[in-house]
Amino acid sequence: MRLGLALPQFGPFADPTLVPAIAAEAEALGFESLWTGERVHAATAPSTPYPGGTMPEQFRSGLDPMLVLTLAANATTRPRLGTSTLNAPLHPPIHLARSLAGIDRLSGGRVIAGLGLGWSRDEYDAVAVPWRERGARLDETLDVLESLWAADPVQHDGRFWTISPGDFRPKPVQQPLPIYLGGLSPAAFRRVGRRADGWLGVALPAEALRGALASIGDQARDAGRGPIATALRINVAVHAAATERPGSGPVEQLVDYLHEAAELGIDDAFVDLQFTTSTPAELLDLAARIRNAFEATA
């Protein structure tokens, strides 16, 4: 299993000048992928609950994921560059296609386009996109991306967007540029199995993770498709006491979970340290500890 790191983006790390140095140091430490997330709007009183409890205060300050990926692409040469996740229905898909293709070219073909629906109705209201249409808009976004990244002339005529015949260049280096989809619902698993190159997972207990992987595999086989790649996000909370929550507790417990995920067949896992550190030096020190411990126990 390849190990990655979330790039600086939220809370005290919402400073674009930090990204190149931390991305370069992460590459030097041996991290094989670098990731961004997305927050469009942090409502004071959210109309939909944050999954798992209260929205982290760090989300009240955040950098645009495309800016962060661009800076990281320019500062590194080897790690894959992923989004986990871009909330696709919040964006016109032709803009997504242009930005992702450009970063893929800048990076020499290292982008993973990780898309999802998000949890915040307030974000949908902020960009005037109906919450009830989010699933249908994600499906059509996938159609648009497929059309625009294919050979010219391109066109699309759908429920939400119409693109007249024309040229769309430059294309991504990768053909096809891999698209991963997030989600934990049966509908999400069906969409992943039917349409995605990979699944963006979260740090579930081992048995729940095993079940999710089995469901996605079943959906892919039913659709006549091969294995689906996986990338697992782990929002780390390091402290001395062991806990039942994956990613929370001592570094040794985190590393044990990483190896457990690898044994289940996870291809990529990445740790987000922005919720358990507050300075670049602290983040990089913890990143090195996790990377070294993971390698030492492989």
In the chain, where are the structural domains located?
A: 2-296
Distance in angstroms (rounded) separating the CA atoms of residues 136 and 3: 33
Query: pLDDT at position 115, please?
Result: 98
Q: Is 11 left (phi over 0), alpha (psi -120 to 50) or beta?
A: left
Query: pLDDT at position 53, please?
Result: 84
Distance in angstroms (rounded) separating the CA atoms of residues 199 and 138: 15
Query: pLDDT at position 22, please?
Result: 98
How far, in Å, are 88, 90, 91, 148, 168 from residue 95 at the CA level?
Answer: 10, 11, 7, 11, 11
Query: pLDDT at position 298, please?
Result: 79
Distance in angstroms (rounded) separating the CA atoms of residues 243 and 234: 15
Distance in angstroms (rounded) separating the CA atoms of residues 159 and 141: 11
Q: Please, which residues bridge with residue 180 across strands?
A: 114, 198
**In this structure, is the dihedral angle defined by the CA atoms of residues 293, 37, 178 and 180, taken in order, positive or negative?**
positive
Distance in angstroms (rounded) separating the CA atoms of residues 178 and 191: 15
**In this structure, is the dihedral angle defined by the CA atoms of residues 236, 242, 246 and 251, taken in order, positive or negative?**
positive
Burial class (CB in 10 A: 0-12, 13-18, 19+), 180: buried
Query: pLDDT at position 286, please?
Result: 98
Query: pLDDT at position 244, please?
Result: 87
The answer to whether 173 and 108 are in contact (CB under 8 A) is yes
Q: Which amino acid is at 103?
A: I
CATH topology of domain 2-296: TIM Barrel (3.20.20)
Tell me the pTM: 0.97
| Per-block mean pLDDT, blocks of 10 residues, the chain (298 long) | 98 98 98 97 93 89 98 98 97 98 98 97 97 97 98 98 98 97 96 98 96 97 96 95 91 96 98 97 98 93
